[in-house]
Amino acid sequence: MRTVALGMGVFLLTIVPLVLFVTFDGGSFTVHMILHMGIVAVIAPLLAYGVLGTRLDPSQRVAWMTPVLASVIEMVVVWIWHVPAIRGLADASLQVSMVELLSFLVAGLLLWAVCLRSGPEGEGRLAGTIGLLFTSIHMTLLGVLLALAPRPLYGTGQVSCFGIPLAGIADQQIGGVVMLAVGALSYLAGGVVLLSGLLREGDPMARGEPRC
């Protein structure tokens, strides 16, 4: 199962720079958000699960890192890249956009790896649950701000989203919805899965132990 997850993660990761290169001139924020969410909410958890417990597991190199701290680091990375002035730099340069996506990958992989690791008797799963749920909250907040903003934050002209012309404000709103639909739900689902595993481990019946 982990081999399949790792293979899928690597395959999807190879597609990202190709999509960025093909769509870069369109200037679409929605395309940016699809790539962003694809990295942090799909590719990163697949890779983190695929290398979990191996020598490639990044969480083993930062044993001091807590899930909440990893979540805060990702929050800082994500929010900085969505400051309009910095977003403009990424939109103007393919190289800067690649650096941006790489930073998303590093921050996302670190977060998922730290949240998925657990010690004996499931130690650390509760912290991992909290880390993922906190990430879901700040992803939701940013997605709502982008989707409900009364004016475009990243340019006012028309853009091309996979060949479809969109007004700047519509493009931004769709991008915000993508963040809500993919990002927030992915972290929420991850937190729920960790929490359900923790509850099963604490249930005597689930462990085959008789209840008193």
Percent of the chain with pLDDT over 90: 60
Is residue 23 scored above 70 in pLDDT?
yes
In a domain, 186, yes or no: yes
Asked if the structure places residue 167 within a domain, the reply is yes
Poorest-pLDDT segment among 13-22, 98-107, 117-126, 202-211: 202-211
Q: Does pLDDT of 211 surpass 80?
A: no
What is the SS3 assignment for 193? helix
CA distance 30 to 164: 11
Is 209 part of a structural domain of the chain?
Answer: no
d(CA 157, CA 169): 9
Average pLDDT, the chain: 88
Q: Picking from 8-22, 25-39, 63-77, 120-134, which range would have the lowest pLDDT averaged per residue? A: 120-134
Whole-number pLDDT of residue 123: 59
User: What pLDDT, on a 0 to 100 scale, did the predictor assign at position 104?
Assistant: 97
Number of independent structural domains in the chain? 1
In a domain, 147, yes or no: yes
For residue 208, pLDDT over 60 is answered with: no
| CB atoms near residue 206 (< 10 Å) | 11
Is the distance from CB of 82 to CB of 29 less than 8 angstroms?
Answer: no
DSSP string, 48-116: HHHTTTSTT-GGGT-TT--HHHHHHHHHHHHHHHTSHHHHHHHHH-HHHHHHHHHHHHHHHHHHHHHHH
| pLDDT score of 204 | 44
> Domain containing 9: what range?
2-201
pLDDT at 175 over 90: yes
The mean pLDDT value for 91-117 works out to 95
Residue 207 lies in a domain: no
Q: Is residue 50 part of a domain?
A: yes
Task: Give yes or no for residue 209 having a pLDDT over 60.
Answer: no
- Whether residue 211 is contained in a domain is answered as no
In this predicted model, what pLDDT tens digit does every residue of 134-173 receive, in sequence order? Answer: 999 999 999 999 999 988 888 777 898 988 899 989 999 9
Instruction: Please give the pLDDT value at position 119.
Output: 52
> In the prediction, which pLDDT does 210 show?
41
In a domain, 111, yes or no: yes
Q: Is 31 exposed, middle or buried (0-12, 13-18, 19+ CB in 10 A)?
A: buried
What is the reported pLDDT for 103?
97
